[in-house]
Structure 1
């Protein structure tokens, strides 16, 4: 029973909940940035490069072999062996753009925290004066006599 109780306490700690929330938000953020890169950034770059789609760029090491029939025996098709450097370029650009957005977000967050730190803390109420202190003591004595 102690194991289950400890495990439940572990799962409900603020750090774990915050981590889970961060992972979910990061996944959604990654999808947004990927769409931004693929749908907004890359098309103009592709047009500027003569209609090139980075994901289609590849170096063929071995050509594909179509399905063949030799002496009545069917030989299965073999896919081409390629180095997909265009997809690698796309992933690197996604990483740079995601890094830039995270950098900007953290910079704005740090600026907000700095402003909070610089803003004066609300002053604690001043300590009672000697006269107020004396009146409180008189009040306490009167209460104790009743």
Structure 2
């Protein structure tokens, strides 16, 4: 069983997957910062000072100034503002992955090879074949 595990773990696909997960988690941190620290503040400013991360629906009936206060009080909340941020993050990640895959595919795409011109020997053999066909048909 140990040998089988060694074979499994040393296969290229497993290593590629592990590298992809590590890079993906680092990329997620970058995208999270991009959304929270760069995109959302100007978007909130344009929309009149809106901060999506503080949008929540209080299910416990109390009145709280922001989400942090509601969480501190232990109130049950539906945090739809955080969900909006997560959706925006998802679309940014999806777009970045699309662009990345598109660029990688551009480098891997190979033009269809044009058929090579027949060599002199092939042309000569075709001429001989055609002449033999003509002679066999002649009475």
TM-score between the two structures when normalised by the length of structure 1: 0.66
Structure whose residues are more often helix by fraction? 2
Structure 2 equivalent of residue 35 of structure 1: 33
RMSD between aligned residues: 2.5
Q: How many residues of Structure 1 are paired with residues of Structure 2 in the alignment?
A: 108
Runs of 4+ in 1 over 3 A off after TM superposition: none
1:61 and 1:4 map into 2 onto residues whose CA distance is 52
Deviations 1:36-75 (A, max 9, x none): 111111110010111111110011222349xxxxxxxxxx
Structure 2 Cα separation of the partners of residues 108 and 95 of structure 1: 20
Q: Which residue of 1 aligns with 2:2?
A: 4
Deviation at 1:81, TM superposition (A): 2.1
In structure 1, the residue matched to 2:99 is 104
Q: Distance in 2 between matches of 1:92 and 1:44?
A: 17
TM-score if structure 2 supplies the norm length?
0.69
Partner of 2:14: 16
Structure 1, gaps ≥5 residues long = 66-76, 121-146
Q: Which has the larger radius of gyration?
A: 1
